[in-house]
A and B are shown apart, each in its own frame.
Chain A
């Protein structure tokens, strides 16, 4: 965020569409000057030469939306993205924690506006209704956006929101609790334009030509007529938007096995203090897991800042654990390795600990003769190294049934447990046929070899000439021609060679001389001990 333009100056975000630079989003100031999405940049510049222009960065927008969604985890675990610029929150059952729907919505909007977002929000009975209300209300409240372009396209065409934090919140009211269904929302919904159904543009035009301009015009008529003329899609969209049909959202994250949180009356500004609270929550989580005979494999600490951003730290263990000190040590390791340290900002007002993955773990029994339980020492070492370096940097090797050398082995994180398969034993009496070190990809070398398929006599690798004294080969390894659309791929002729200084190499000729390649290239693929 933060595009370097003063908030009051008009600026636009542009994107290349069909070979022309067109406005994708405009700031409020630009909107008031009459610019809108879809206008070509050349036209816009002609009207206002000192217009601020920046490229639209959809990836950054998505990342920002994800961050906001993380922050919304404080309200409800059921948060879903509504790309490109919306979020849907299922707030059923969460409202009372915040003192009612209006209070929740106010809190959310206030936090986001503090971040410089322009927020359009709606609360409705179904996700689709909330989506339509937030995006297609005839008179959306405009608010100034800082640093980010926000726009609502005017006119009769379907409004486009780009780069806005369009917040769509919705409760699902069950019969057992909550206020009665919103008569007011029904009315609002019926006043929405037919574009809110998000049908094909031609169909929306056809509806308008038929004199059906608002959802109310449609819902007052029998749905068969609509289905006969515009298809099942239109009647289904209408049912979903008008609230007759309720499709649940798919939350971004699965519900963790265990979740504990603590709210602070006053924001706390020190990360250490926040982690002390996490340690207390962890103690509680350990007690609960002990009762269930469970141990955690993954732990996540979330620190929610008052301004709505959230910082998550995740750690993972190879074996299920129930040890507060151990997990806190892993969190410390993770804190040490962060590229950008945790910034408390104006303080954290909520910390949460979740255990997304639990596995059975029998109660521990200390040995009668005393002494520590040392058998997990290696697992703890691997947890620590994996947390510090990253799980893919601490790995084991497993065999794979493939004759392609680079695919005959796979590396997997050591934290995922021991190897499943045994390695095939080598043929007794044979020298090693495979190198101890493999280059991936193979490195090209210059080779002098007999034509058509003689072994290499000398080769140059890394600017050094090697005289071959011993050579064995070729071991021909065909390509996976059945996997390739063109039935192609070159065969490789492998040679084990030794040079004058006793160094052993694994070389191959790529392609059969004369048949597959005119002048086959040579590569070094590995080194023998």
Chain B
């Protein structure tokens, strides 16, 4: 038993040496929801690669929205959004007034549309090395087999060097091996209705799938507060609405909205 513990400690230190120094709290950006930030140890680290996966094909817009909201949490500065032709065709082009409606200043945005995956990869490699960029959003199309372990490793090393935070937005893709610091799943969430049944503020559910710090199974329902650029806990969806109008059965526990451990869900 002791022996195995020693082996484990030795392995941990070796892995720690490979992984490099742990980000300090100052290099983190908080999401703005105190309970979630506390569990994340003060937020997510800057200058790393974070992956966001859409839960379903229809969550593409929620995924893009969540990526943009996270980028807004990072602060001011130019934001590069790298997209692919096919993604623009299928998902629509970025619309300035709508981005402004999320509280984002579209003047910060530089949209780069690559004709194919190889072009996107190359542009991403260049963009991540530019320290003046506040955040880089990379939106490959579907499976995007080019984004493998090697590429993600290269991107995260470059991000650590330049301090640029990279958000990889993956819709209709299966999570594969990657060197990302954290990996989240994003799903659109029914909003808290306004008067007369009008759709309310944007809301998403995020689930932590993987984290370099060993966390797993965090789940939170977030609503975006545009005025303060901060996430807050989403009000229970379906207030004033029949529950059947909320989520379909099995898609998540309505009452358990908020950060919580979902270890059993992931181990299943």
Contacts and interface: CB of A to CB of B under 8 A. Distances in A.
Interface in A471-529: 471-472, 496-498, 500-504, 526-529
A272 interface: no
B193 interface: yes
Given A409-B96, A424-B100, A529-B66, A501 B112 contact: no
Interface string A377-391: 110011011001100
B137 interface: no
A374 interface: yes
B68 interface: yes
A428 interface: yes
A428 B248 CA distance: 32
B99 A436 contact: yes
Range, interface on chain A: 35 or more
A426 interface: yes
Of B56, B68, B97, B203, which is in contact with the most chain A CB atoms at under 10 Å from its CB? B97
Interface string B106-131: 11011111110001001100110011
A435 B198 contact: no
Contacts of A9: none
Nearest to B122: A388
Given A423-B100, A502-B237, A418 B107 contact: yes
Contacts of B59: 503
Contacts of B112: 385, 389, 393-394
Contact of A426 (B101, B132, B193, B200): B101
A438 interface: yes
Nearest to B83: A393
Chain A interface main SS type: mixed
Contacts of B95: 405, 409, 434-438, 526
B199 A528 contact: yes
Interface stretch (B6-14, B29-37, B86-94, B142-150): B86-94
Nearest to B93: A438
A20 interface: no
Interface stretch (A72-80, A104-112, A395-403): A395-403
A498 B190 contact: yes
Contacts of A393: 112-115
A364 B131 CA distance: 21
Nearest to B245: A469
B189 interface: yes
A414 interface: yes
Contacts of A244: none
Nearest to B62: A529
B3 interface: no
Contacts of A418: 107
Nearest to A461: B58
Contacts of A504: 61, 188, 191, 199, 202
A487 B131 CA distance: 53
A419 to B, nearest CB: 4
B237 A435 contact: no
B98 A397 contact: no
Contacts, number: 213
A395 B96 CA distance: 12
Contacts of B122: 388
B130 A377 contact: yes
A471 B197 contact: yes
A335 interface: no
Nearest to B56: A501
A503 B58 contact: yes
Given A408-B97, A436-B61, A438-B92, A396 B202 contact: no
B127 A381 contact: yes
B130 A464 contact: no
B114 A389 contact: yes
A32 interface: no
B128 to A, nearest CB: 10
B247 interface: yes
B226 A498 contact: no
Contacts of A389: 112-115, 119, 123
Contacts of B97: 399, 405, 408-409, 423, 434
A425 B100 contact: yes
A249 interface: no
A393 B93 CA distance: 12
A389 B65 CA distance: 26
Contact of A431 (B200, B237, B251): B200
B227 interface: yes
A500 B248 contact: yes
A527 B102 CA distance: 13
B199 A529 contact: no
A360 interface: no
A397 B109 contact: yes
A497 B96 contact: no
A469 B190 contact: yes
A5 interface: no
Nearest to A473: B198
A378 B114 contact: no
B105 A423 contact: yes
Contact of B110 (A394, A501, A528): A394
A440 interface: yes
B130 A381 contact: yes
24 contacts: A385-B112, A399-B97, A409-B97, A426-B226, A431-B201, A432-B201, A433-B101, A436-B65, A436-B68, A436-B94, A438-B95, A439-B92, A469-B190, A469-B197, A469-B245, A496-B198, A498-B190, A501-B247, A503-B62, A504-B61, A504-B202, A527-B61, A528-B65, A529-B62
Closest 6 CB pairs of A and B: A529-B65, A472-B198, A432-B101, A437-B92, A527-B61, A438-B95
Interface of A: 374-375, 377-378, 381-382, 384-385, 388-389, 393-399, 405, 408-409, 411, 414, 418-419, 422-426, 428-429, 431-440, 464, 469-472, 496-498, 500-504, 526-529
Given A374-B132, A529-B68, 6 more contacts: A408-B97, A432-B201, A470-B198, A500-B245, A502-B189, A528-B98
